Structure formats: structure tokens, C-alpha cells
Amino acid sequence: MKIGIVGAGAIGGYFAARLAHFGQDVSILARGETLAAIRANGIRLESEGRQFNEHVKASDRAEELGAQDVVILAVKAPALPTAAQSIAPLLGPHTIVVPALNGLPWWYFLASSEALAGHRLHAVDPAGLLELAIPVSRLVGCVVFPASSALAPGVIRHASGNRIVFGEPQGGTSARVDALAKIFSEAGFAAEASTNIRREIWLKLLGNMCFNPVSVLVGCSSDRLIDDPRLHRMMAGMMTEAIALGGALGIHVDIKPDDRIALTRKLGTVKTSTLQDVEAGRPLEIDGILGTVVEAAEAIEHPIPLLTAVYALTRKRADVLGLLPQA
């Protein structure tokens, strides 16, 4: 299968190396130092005590890569509108597009038949550019649980976790979702096909919407956040708000906040992707991770005071650091 990966950072590079190692035809759309490093040295990955060094086709021009069977969008939310405008040459009549993103994806309510059905998330797609560039019919939802980081351009370290979940935006089953899960399973991932990907996205978001912004505010790894009694209580309160909001939106997750926090604790000493972005001086995807949640709550007039306060503080922190994406 021809798999095009847009972005070769912590997640895109991790996917590219493993999929290529296990026989898939992988191409990467990248630019700058990352593109130069991949062309010179391939994708280098440290994972589970193994070293992978995979040479794949890479370009900064989608035309050179051509139509793919699957396109994986592995860029951060601030870069997504530009990336979406660049992928048209990668799309054939039946190409599947898989956004591997943190937070609520732009399509989340467009594919819903419940509360906020058809609502465009202005926090991540204010002008509808993503909605226009990538029709929902092309999309397969994806939830990425592995923790990894880019040590240098084209050099990736996988720290922990290997679960990947795929699903149709509207729910249910399909042959294309089953095929994706099979491909990733054969590449060593714990890949699953879900009949309710929107629930899976919200379940992961329970962690992201708490750990990512709080890590930006205090500047430490997730285990240290959890082990601080005051922060632990605060994040449990944030998750309680998020679970209640999900229920009001028709997204029911059967998990207690402390149990969800314990899942992150199992990852060990890891830095959130947003804290990694702070340290690297990259724009922060705070609007995708938490701004979307605040927008949804405001749209149905459901109060989430802790989450709203943390969002305001983190957004201002990003602004002060010069890392708030420009509209």
C-alpha cells in the first residue's frame, strides 16, 4: 500500500520508520532541515530497544510523490491548514486521509448526528478551509497513544505506548478501517478498529486537555504533575468537567478521573507534546486541544469553569512566549 505521511516529526517520523521497515511503500512530505536530513540519512528511530534506519521517498512537493492510497496528516494543529492546502496531488479517487492529531479534529461535529451536529469548530478551522480541502467522506478518524519525541531532524525516539485506534467519523464498521488496523498491526502497533471513534477521541482528550496546558503553565513532566497532590486534585476536577460536558454532547465515556490519570501515570516520565513545543520554540496547539472544548461548551451553554480558566491562562502564556499561532 502507498502511504504518504505529511510531517515527519515525533509521530509522523515514528509511523514512517515502522511502516517502511515492515514493507509498506512510504513517502514523506516534509521541508527544510527535516527534508534534508531524511534525504541524506533516512528516518532514524529508537523504539523498544531497537534501532530503525529507513530510507524512504521524501519531497517538499506533493507532485513528486503522486497519488497515495492513504495520506496521514501528522502535523500540529497550527500547521494543518497549510498542510491541507498542499496535499491535493496526493489524493486519488479513493485515497483515505487520516488526521493523526491531538485535540478535537475539525471534522468532529461535522460527522455527528447528536448535539452540535454540523458545527464547524472555529477554534481550528475558522474559515472552513479544512472542511473544503478534505471532505468528510475521505476521512478515517485516528487516536494516537504512543509518546515519542524528535531528537533532531529525522531522528525520533519512541518512549512508550503503541496503541493506535482507527474508526469511521460517523461510527460503525468498514473495510477500509479494518485494512488500516491490519497494516498497523503488522508493523508492530497495537492497532484497533473502533465502532465509535468520536468516543475514543474524547477519552484521549480527557488527558490532553488537562496535562498539556498544565504542563505549559508549570513546565514539568506528566508524572510530576500527577504526583503533586494539589495539581492532581485540580486535574481530576478538570476531567470531571470534561466528562460531564461529553455527556451533554452525547459522548459518554465510562471512566473515573483518577482512573484516566492512572493511564497517563503508566507512561512514566514523559513530557507532553505541547511542553516539547514550548521548549523548541514552536507554535502551541492550545486551541485544538482546549480551545475547541471551550467553544463546544459555550455553544451549548454548559459551564466548565476550571477548563475555561486553564485555557485562558495557557493561551496568554503562549502569547507572552511568542508561541501563539497567528490567525
**How many CB atoms sit inside 10 A of residue 158's CB?**
22
Weakest-pLDDT range from 52-61, 101-110, 267-276, 295-304: 267-276
Say if residue 281 is in the same domain as residue 146: no
- Tens-digit pLDDT profile for residues 155-199: 999 988 899 999 999 999 999 999 999 999 999 999 999 999 999
> Catalytic amino acids?
204
Give residue for cell 459518554. 252
pLDDT for 327 equals 60
Q: In this model, does residue 113 exceed pLDDT 90?
A: no
Q: Are 238 and 313 in contact (CB under 8 A)?
A: no
Total of domains in the chain: 2
Asked if residue 326 belongs to a domain, the reply is no
Asked if residue 325 belongs to a domain, the reply is no
Domain that holds residue 81: 2-195
Q: Is the dihedral of CA 242, 243, 249, 252 positive or negative?
A: positive
Domain with residue 309: its CATH number is: 1.10.1040.10
In what side-by-side order are the strands of the sheet with 141-144?
Answer: 141-144, 163-167, 190-194
Q: pTM for the full model? A: 0.93
Say if residue 174 is in the same domain as residue 224: no
